[in-house]
Structure 1
């Protein structure tokens, strides 16, 4: 009987979990999952929230929140297999940009009523210009996504595309950059460098270029912890250990890969899956190849601080504008957007996840990078997240990933291999698992 191949998976986020789950039944493999944090899940981070003045708690998510059937097919199948409870959610979007007089330009995309929540905008030619340019942009991007019209020039940026097609500043500053910044948690400067072809394909796939017939969004009932616990139960059934220990560094040799753990131990494996962020993966490898340095180093990450709180003053002043995602600028109308400041988005959990009926009057908010901190007595918890930054260099590096996958006993997976979302993370872990199993049998 041949000896089992020992596989280490480094990282307990969606990619590491999907990889371990896919490998769990292979009799030729011995799998171990490592996680440096005190919890498993990565961006699947549920917390028990207690509203101010209440003694009742309920679970909310602070990272991964929503998914849909159109663009998360593998994740949907995964959840169905695990019998994960889900509930309908919404993906409404609002924008709030201060004016010099102390008020703000505010609108939301739900209905005509929320679009023109501020009736004065009915008489604003700049606002109407934004609306018209949204329709123009949608049509242009639909054509771009379907025809791959600039496939030979993928380096064209959002900024170049806007200038070429004479899309106005109100459209750029009041709609597009807020939307892109909210989706990818990046600065204005980073948004403008984003490859337009990638953006067009993403928006088309996610129904963001449609005014009607947008996909129904869902959330995990009881928090994403529900699916994480189910995966861990399946791994436990198969005897796959989950070790809460980080990797200080790894070294490769003729007989395999040595993992030097933060605890001081050294464990040897035949192959290692680095299911962590690209920058973390590069820092773990003590002897990276030139290709590994170039590819992993081209996809950086940026830290963002999330505040879980109940301070309603952080939301748009116009209550009818309140949406699931609320973008807030700190630069007055007409002055563009601050190139360097991190994007500020207020996620209104009441619109995203089920809240107990008797507590629905309590607004639960997760704010990413607030311009002014929520009131201290209304802050429940702060959490640090990291998000990948995508530009033309990063997109080009993604296409070169096959050149380093498994070549030197190390595999790479993570949401950063795609658009940066849960479906991307899940698919990347599943893909690496299939490659490992295929190699193990030949």
Structure 2
């Protein structure tokens, strides 16, 4: 009997998980006498590994709420966010054991990312430093890795649970942000809120992160399983947290996403009018904040600082126009600039030159085309997430781990649930045909 690729991948995946569980178990036994707390953490990983053997989607599902954790996990010379660590763990069962075959849309997005990765190889060769190489793999994980983890959740029939876990995690960040804002306002301080709980976060980080759950709750696709009774209050809480963050970038991304959802849902045209009406005050608030910063004459405020960084980023690019200075060049001693360019295209141009920028344009234009052509029942939310992210990145940092991985993770869920729906629909038609023929 011929063994198919699916069976081979399943056996390899199960074997790898078994070996990993055994290694972790031996590690626990070795650590208990010296470091019991670390041993406890490793034991928890063993339990998760065992659960993954029984149900491969366990780790991808756990990644859904953990993807928002910006707190850092440091140890053994490794320093990375909990989000990245969880994404890396969930990637392996997702890529080895997730439902096959991949949909044409997912394969297209993966190949588009391959094009970007190949074209950024030139800057790795021209600028051989460690952070450059590490970030090359990191960027691939944030896009393709996140897509595959999301796909595993959606295609396995767990989209409702996965998105619910993600939404609850975001609400747990939004509520203390609002509470801190109210306390701050009560003291007479009406400046932007930089959340301190459950871990310190920048206002632009919390603002742009919460755009994704806001779009999910606004779109409220039928397969989400959240009725208006729950979705509307949650949506208002998320909006409140974005408002107190005073993140202009988040407001722009939210406005773009709301328009996409409203204009593509033809059965709810009234919502488009409501969305446009809501975007007007958002635009007014943004313009007012910019006007006040310009009028202040403070050359060190965010408006003037960003303009200065735009000019400096362009000049940095002209020093190495074809292959750039390397990914995360600003972290290196003697770098031409000690800041990350606050614009996606300027960042890629300065980092990877025109060659890398061509790959970035192909990645994003191709992604938007693929998502636009999807069935609107699944592609509308995915397109809104993608357009929102690229809109935000015109005024803010792009290659920031969670800000990239979250949209692509959610897009992967949309791709997976859409594929699962199509497979079930095909099976149902075949079953009906057999019934008629019988």
Q: Could you state the TM-score of these two structures normalised by the residue count of structure 2?
A: 0.27
Q: Could you state the TM-score of these two structures normalised by the residue count of structure 1?
A: 0.27
